Structure 1
Amino acid sequence: MRVMVMYDLPAVTAKEKKIHHDFQKLLVQSGFLMMQESIYCKLAQNQQAADAIIKQLKKQLPDKGLVQVLTITEKQFAKIEYLVGKKVSEVIDTDDRVVIL
């Protein structure tokens, strides 16, 4: 499964810019990978893991702005169509390297 976080945070004042940067940093430190600006994605093994990721995010949301979360299956994620540009694959977008302990 994939957990996608899409956000739009105000970044006009210096304080808002810091909050925006801190939220972006939180996502990266939590294992999210940037798909586009303000769209991050993280691989989850199952729905319970996805729920835990979302629960952790809810604890650290900024006060202002919009943050949306979408959970999709790998099959749905694989159907993404690139309409302009091409896929850049610096990131592994399959679960081939997932080790289940």
Structure 2
Amino acid sequence: MRVSGFRAMWLLVLFDLPVGTKSQRKRATKFRKLLLEDGFKMMQFSVYMRPCASEENAAVHLQRVKQTLPPLGSVRIMQVTDQQFTRMLCFDGKSRVPTENMPNQLEFF
């Protein structure tokens, strides 16, 4: 069963964290691991994405990210509909590649 492209959401977390000291690297690694544990996938090194079945579901994961924010660094969180996400232009070198698809609803569980 496919969820609506206007109801389904994607959360994108973009960050630039300090890694100059051992403790800063450890905090940055911990933040990345927490994102992965919450179902985010690495889109690029400091860009993680997560599909959400609804805006309410996205709010739950948004709150989890906010609770794990590191004390230093810049973190931006963007919420877009599946329809907006699929309009993203993606390239590998000069070759156009398709955007990720929203998983089927059963895959959310």
TM range (shorter): 0.7 to 0.9
**Aligned ranges 1:51-90 → 2 under 5 Å:** 51-83=59-91, 85=93, 86=95, 87=97
SS state at 1:42 partner: strand
Code of the aligned partner of 1:16: Q
Give me the identity figure in percent.
29
Please give the TM-score of this superposition, normalised by the length of structure 1. 0.87
Provide the C-alpha distance between the structure 2 equivalents of 1:67 and 1:52, rounded to a whole number of angstroms: 17
1:21 paired with 2:39, answer no
Provide the C-alpha distance between the structure 1 equivalents of 2:36 and 2:24, rounded to a whole number of angstroms: 19
Code of the aligned partner of 2:89: E
Higher strand share: 2
**C-alpha distance after superposition, 1:41-90 (max 9, x if no partner):** 0000111111111111111110000111000011111011125524388x
Please give the TM-score of this superposition, normalised by the length of structure 2. 0.81
List runs of 5+ in structure 1 lacking aligned partners: none
Code of the aligned partner of 2:104: R
Distance 1:96 1:65, change over 3 A: closer
- How many residues are treated as equivalent by the alignment? 98
Distance 1:80 1:88, change over 3 A: closer
Code of the aligned partner of 1:53: H
List runs of 5+ in structure 2 lacking aligned partners: 1-8
Provide the C-alpha distance between the structure 2 equivalents of 1:10 and 1:66, rounded to a whole number of angstroms: 9
